[in-house]
Structure 1
């Protein structure tokens, strides 16, 4: 009975790693698609978010392959910093933060309507959701690895 419970928690932790990796992979491929196929140039804040999302796709793939449940130690800081940048980007997009504080010097503005998919989904919101999902999957994995 105890062995079954341990296997179940190990499987749940591994599935959480797979989930985190799929979110990071989808977000990374989506960013590449938006930039290269749709031709939408990323702003400076988008580049910062990519700098934290792209390595997560690789790190989480390796962790899932190796069933490394201690991945939270090195993946969570990347996801947390990316989450903060995405939150600031979304606040800038929504007009909560003034455009004078925006780090975008050249290229597209973070506050304009072109920062949407399908005309209504803000790209900064999608990024924030992706980082949030990764963090939640990592927490779930960590909790199941403690059992």
Structure 2
């Protein structure tokens, strides 16, 4: 399928969000020295492939990519929401490691992951809605 101009914009925004999230997670661990916990690793496993998938979809104009991306987002949202919940219950610490206790103003790393997955999912749902209307 060839994407229309607004669909290409949604693909570009989603690809940019995935790229920023990936670069951010690598910066936190490799540059700033925050070790990722087990839940963070699972979220990375779900986010990192989205950079390539969404970039390829943007370049080829594939507006049906939401079928592939939404399951990744659903898993990432579930993990990040669970980790954010653990933060509240455990008083700001993560039982899987120390990363959830790291506050990068104004939100923690798991909260940032949750926002990134949610925004990508919103782009994909909008893409799906646009595709059904066409």
Q: Same fold (TM over 0.5)?
A: yes
Which contiguous aligned blocks of 4+ residues in structure 1 show a shift greater than 2 angstroms? 108-111
Give the structure 2 partner of residue 58 of structure 1.
52
Give the structure 2 partner of residue 123 of structure 1.
109
Instruction: Give the drift of 1:95.
Output: 1.5
Instruction: Give the drift of 1:109.
Output: 3.1
Give the structure 2 partner of residue 109 of structure 1.
98
Question: How large is the RMSD of aligned CA atoms in angstroms?
Answer: 2.2
Instruction: Give the drift of 1:33.
Output: 0.4
Give the structure 2 partner of residue 25 of structure 1.
19
Instruction: Give the drift of 1:142.
Output: 1.4
Structure number with greater CO (CA < 8 Å, separation at least 6) is 1
Give the structure 1 partner of residue 120 of structure 2.
134
Give the structure 2 partner of residue 35 of structure 1.
29
* 3-state DSSP of counterpart to 1:70: coil
Write the deviation string for residues 95-132 of structure 1: whole angstroms up to 9, x where unpaired: 279x89x4x2xxx3355x3x2213x4211110000000
With structure 2 as the length reference, what TM-score do the two structures score? 0.89
- Partners in 2 of 1:125 and 1:70 — Cα distance? 28
Structure 1: runs of 5 or more not aligned: 1-8
